[in-house]
Amino acid sequence: MLKFTSFLGAFLSVSFLFAQLVNTTSDGRYTLSPEGASYFAKLSLNCTSKPTPHYYYQALRQPGDTQTPTDIWPSFYGCYDWHSAVHNHWALIKILKTYPSIPEAEAIRAKLNESFSEENIRQEYQYFETNKERYVFEFPYGQGWLLKVADELANLNDPDATRWLENLAPLHHLCAAASQVIWKDIKEVKLSGSHDAPSLNLSFAIDYARTFGDEELLKVALKASKRYFGKMTNAPLRAEPFEYDFMSASLLVTDLMRKVYNTEDYLVWLKKFSPGLFAAQTAGKDLQIKKTDKHDGYESHWDGYHLNRIWCLNGMLKTLPAGTLDEATKAAWVTNMNAMWDYAQESIGKGNYDIDHWLSSFSVFALIGYE
């Protein structure tokens, strides 16, 4: 009986924690609570300040090299790899912007002051300049997230953010130039939910171009998006995820194209691209969650995949006119979105670095990042 009581207490504590991470909107969807913002801020602060373990030691370090990730990337040295460090910085900025009064706000500012110092960003930029793969280092995934960091800073009305963005300028200008040059030349792409996903970079490039008034980048990104995905139909939502995908290849495209078309044209395109999402029975099957027995290592990709689906669906719900979905279909979306969240959160924040080094930021994006 004592063991059962202890188990029940632990279960209730975990359930209470999950409940505190989110509030519920009027239509039943989860949104991030202030307690949840503090929770994920702690996770992102921890991993952005943790230089080991790191991918550098496994794949990039040359024999006799005595450098550490901190020496090479003084801003984005943590979180196991450069791109994860970048999107965890995005999460810290988004949390500070949305919940400026949480207890972790001061620590977030201190971290961002360090990461976005003029000297550190200059050294980050120098790595691109001296790298033989200058434009393609971390392209398209990591560079796409860097554009999103700049976009978020530009939309944060704060004197510190103005200074951080000014210091970041050489790096985000380089990444914007890379997107403009590369997408202009590539004629066709494949659906992907992995690091090579063109849809994520294009989506963030469009956000960036509109924020910074970069008309040439916007023209290139819009044209490329229509060229790659404008005529694509019947996306394979039920076949996902593919291999080691950690995002939803199909729903990433729906999130991109809502930024490409006006609302009327987007709805026409979407009903051809993912027709099953517009009826309750088929939507439930298209969005049914898939599970693995464990969450660590590559299996944690399933958690990211489901969190990515939530952020794409949230973006679509923001874009679609009221009444586009009937009540039953909308309920099917919401039920599956919340189930995806609950499943992914079973693994996050339990001390497994395979999971925490990137899924904190995906959790934040799922609930408040799609704006």
pLDDT in tens, 155-198: 999 999 999 999 999 999 999 999 999 999 999 999 999 999 99
- The residue behind tokens 């996902």 is 240
Q: What tokens were used for 341?
A: 């969240």
pLDDT of residue 82: 97
**Mean pLDDT throughout 199-219?**
98
pLDDT of residue 17: 54
Is the pLDDT score of 109 beyond 90? yes
**Mean pLDDT throughout 292-302?**
80
* Beta carbons of 179 and 201 less than 8 angstroms apart: yes
Average pLDDT of every residue of the chain:
92
Least confident residue range of 45-59, 185-199, 207-221: 45-59
Q: Name residue 24's beta-bridge partners.
A: 30
**Helix (H) and strand (E) counts in the chain:** 17, 2
* Beta carbons of 225 and 266 less than 8 angstroms apart: no
Question: pTM of the entire structure?
Answer: 0.93
**Mean pLDDT throughout 131-153?**
93
- DSSP helix/strand/coil, 185: helix
What are the φ/ψ torsions at residue 30 (nearest 5 degrees)? -80, 145
The CA-atom distances, in angstroms, between 255 and each of 175, 249, 344 are 21, 10, 20
pLDDT digits (tens, 9 = 90+) for 68-92: 999 999 999 999 999 999 999 999 9
Measured distance between the N- and C-terminal CA atoms of the chain, rounded to whole angstroms:
48
**Mean pLDDT throughout 250-272?**
98
**Mean pLDDT throughout 297-308?**
89
Least confident residue range of 40-54, 76-90, 181-195, 280-294: 280-294
Integer Cα distance of 165 and 173 in angstroms: 11
